[in-house]
Structure 1
Amino acid sequence: MPVRRTAAAIAVVAATAALITSCSAGKPRSAAAEPQTRPVANSSSSVDKSTWPEATPTAGLAKGLSLPLEAYMETYQDTVALDDAERHLETRCLADYGLHVTFPPAGQTPPPSADDSNMPRRYGITDRALAEKYGYGLPDGMQHQEGTKMPELTKDQIEVLTGRTSLRNSPADPAPEKAPSTYQGKAIHQDGCAGWADDQLGTRDMDFSLVSQLDGESLTQSQQTPAVQNAIAAWSACMKGDGYTVDSPYHADQIVPHTDGSPSKEEIAVAVADIGCKKSTDLVKIWFTEDSRIQEQQIKDHQSALDALRTRRTQVVGSAQKALKG
C-alpha cells in the first residue's frame, strides 16, 4: 500500500477487471436538485472481518512487534475506510446524474499484512502454529484472492464516473480520450465522479512512497549489520544441525517445493525447524532491534515530511468518516 492511487485512476483500470484494494474541502458540487432518497453504497460493515490482518502480530515470534515507521504507514483499516467513502461518494454523485450503480463493499479481499512492514513475515515465517498447519503457505482465507469484480458499466456510466470515454484494462494501456464535458446538460466533474470523490476526501496524489522506500531500506541495511549477520549465521548452523543447508531465512522455503493448500510433511518439517532455529538463536528479536534502530534514525532525518504525511492521513480518514455519515 505504498502509493495511494486516486479513485479516478482506479476506476478506469479496475472496473473491467478487479475491485480496488487501495485510498477537506473539495470542489463544490454542481447545483442540481438533490434526489429525495440518497443512494448509499454497500459498506464494509457487512463484510466478514475475521480474516482482516491485525495491526500488530498477536502470535508467534513477532508477537507484539511494531516498527517505528509503522506509525506513518497507511493501514488496511485506513484503506477500507477510504475505499468505503470513495464508493459512497461516487454512488451519490452518479445518482445526481440519474445514473445508478451498485458498488460492492470494500474489505472483501484483505492482504496477509496490515501494512507495508509485513511484520508477521518480515524476517521470514515466525508463527509455529501456522507453520505446523500450512508450512510456508498462508492460512485459509488469506491466500491471494482475485479482487471482487466491479459491476458492468454502460458507456454513460463510464463517462460520468471517470471523465473518460472508455476504461483501461491495465495501467500500461494508453489513457482513453476525455468524455464530453456534459451529460444531459449537466457538467461532468474533472475526472468524473471518481475525481470529485477524491477531491472531497483530499486523497488526490496522496503518496506513501517515502515511507515504503524507507521501510525497504531499513530492512536491507539491518540485514547487513554485524549483529544480524551473526544471528543469521547461527540460524543457518542450527538448520544444518537439523539436516537442512540454507544460508538465509528468505531461502528456507525453497528447500522443498511448496503447494498452496496442501503442504507436504517435508515442507512442514522445514518450516517448523526454521522457526525453532529462529527461536533458539533469537534471530527475530535481534533483527527487529537493528531494524528499529535504523528506522528511528530515518524518522529523525525525514521528520518534517513524515509528520506531514501522518497529519494528512489523519485528515483524510476523518473526511472519510464524515462522508459516510452524510
Structure 2
Amino acid sequence: MRAIHTYRPLWLACTVLMAVTSIAGCSDSGSAGNGQPGNAHPLPDVSGPEPSIPSLTPAAGGDPSRPIDFKGGGAVIRPDGSMAFPLDAYDSADDEAVLARAETALGQQCMRRKGLELPASLKLDKGPEQPAPYVIFGVIDMKTVKVFGYREPSPAVAKPSATPSATPSAKPSTGPSASPGTAPQADGDIPPAVAQAFFDDPRKGKVGCEGEARQKLRGAHPESMFMLLQRYRSEALTAAQRDSRVRRATAEWSACMKDSGFPYPNPLAPGHDRTLLGRGLPTPAGASLPPPSPAEIEVAVTDVTCKRRTQYLQTIAMVNAAYQHQIIGKQARHLREAQLKQKQDVEAARKILHGSP
C-alpha cells in the first residue's frame, strides 16, 4: 500500500466510512437494503415518550483541557475519545474478520475464473468498522484538536508535547466498502477490467465477483449483523437528535460558540465549514489541502470547550444509549435471528477458508 500525504477534513471521512446507513450527515447511495428488497428487517418504532436518562450534575462537564471520562445511562465516553453503547454488545470483530477473509477468498476464485487477479487493495483481512465517534458527534479531545483542528487525526494521535504548529498526516482509508455496489476508496489504481469484473452495478442489475462472493457466503439474505446494527444505530441516533434534551444541549452549545464569535447551529457544522480550510496557509508538496490554520484550531478548541461547559457529549451519549436500549427491547427476536445467521455464516466462512488455496 502506498502512503498518501493528505489533510482530510472530517466531512470527507463520510465518503469512506465503512457503514451502510445514513449516520450523522453521512449517507450512502442506496436504501437500507442496498437495492435488495426484502433482505432487511423493518426498523423499530422509537416514537412515543422520551426515555429517561440519569441527571447530570454541573460538575460533570469537567475541565476541557483534560480528557473526558464519563459513564452513565448505558453510555461510556473514554479518555481516548472512544465511546461504547448498548448495541455494541452484539458486535464481534473476530466474526467480521472471518467473514471478510472468506469473501475475499471467494472473490479471488471468481476473478481467477475470469483470468484476472484480485489486487491487494481489494483484499480484506478484517471486517467493516463503525465510524469514529468524532465523525458522528464532532470533535471531542482538546489535545487532538490543538494539532489536527477539524481534520481526521492520524492513527498515532499527537503526543502531549505536540503543538498547534505540528504537521498532521491523516491516513487514507483503504479497502472495499461494506455496502454492496459501492466502489471502494482504495490505494493505487484499479485497472478498468478488474473494476468491471469485481464490482456490482445495482443500477444495471449487474452482479460482479464481490456480489457473487457475498451471495455464496451469505445466501439469499445477505444483510449482515454489522449492517443490521448500523441501521439500528442510525435509527437510535436520529431519534436522539430529535430529543428535546439533545436539542436543548445543542442550543446551549450554539449559544456558547456564538459568544466567542463563531455562529454555528450544531456541533457537526464547524467540521463541515469549508471556509475554515487553510485560511491562507500554503499547501505542502504532496498534500491536497493545507494543514490546519490557527483560525481553524481556535474554532475547534472553542468547540470542545463549549461541549464540556454544556455537557453536550454526555447528554447525547446517554440519550442515544436510551434509544438503543428501546430498540434492543423491541427487536430482541430479530437480533437473536441475526446472531444465529451470523453464527451459520461464520461456520460456512471457516469451511471456505479451510479449503481455499
CA contact (8 A) 1:131 1:272 kept: yes
Match of 1:202 among 200, 212, 218: 218
Separation in structure 2 between the aligned mates of residue 57 and residue 203 of structure 1, nearest angstrom? 38
The residue that corresponds to 2:32 in the other structure is: none
The residue that corresponds to 1:291 in the other structure is: 320
Q: 1:71 to 1:206 in 2, by over 3 A?
A: farther
SS at match of 1:147: coil
Q: 1:102 to 1:222 in 2, by over 3 A?
A: closer
Match of 1:225 among 217, 222, 243: 243
CA contact (8 A) 1:222 1:290 kept: yes
Q: Which amino acid aligns with 2:120?
A: P
CA contact (8 A) 1:104 1:150 kept: no
The residue that corresponds to 1:23 in the other structure is: none
Q: 1:98 to 1:215 in 2, by over 3 A?
A: closer
Q: Which amino acid aligns with 1:294?
A: Y
CA shift for structure 1 position 88? 2.0
CA shift for structure 1 position 195? 6.4
Match of 2:105 among 71, 88, 110: 88
CA shift for structure 1 position 194? 5.9
CA shift for structure 1 position 289? 0.4
The residue that corresponds to 1:115 in the other structure is: 130
Q: Which amino acid aligns with 2:204?
A: P
Q: Are 2:146 and 1:132 aligned?
A: yes
TM-score by structure 1 length?
0.60
SS at match of 1:126: coil
The gaps in structure 1 that reach 5 residues or longer are 5-55, 159-165, 177-190
Q: 1:90 to 1:219 in 2, by over 3 A?
A: closer
The residue that corresponds to 1:50 in the other structure is: none
Q: For residues 185-264 of structure 1, what are the structure 2 equivalents within 5 Å?
A: 197-198=213-214, 201-202=217-218, 204-208=220-224, 210-253=228-271, 254=273, 256-258=275-277, 260=289, 262-264=291-293
TM-score by structure 2 length?
0.55
CA shift for structure 1 position 123? 1.5
The residue that corresponds to 1:45 in the other structure is: none
Q: Please identify the structure whose Cα radius of gyration is greater.
A: 1
CA shift for structure 1 position 136? 0.9
Q: 1:102 to 1:227 in 2, by over 3 A?
A: closer
Q: Which amino acid aligns with 1:279?
A: R
Separation in structure 2 between the aligned mates of residue 274 and residue 129 of structure 1, nearest angstrom? 13
CA shift for structure 1 position 312? 2.1
Q: 1:273-316 CA distances to partner (integer Å, 9 max, x unpaired)?
A: 11121122221111110110011111111111122123322432
CA shift for structure 1 position 213? 3.3
SS at match of 1:250: coil
Q: 1:105 to 1:250 in 2, by over 3 A?
A: closer
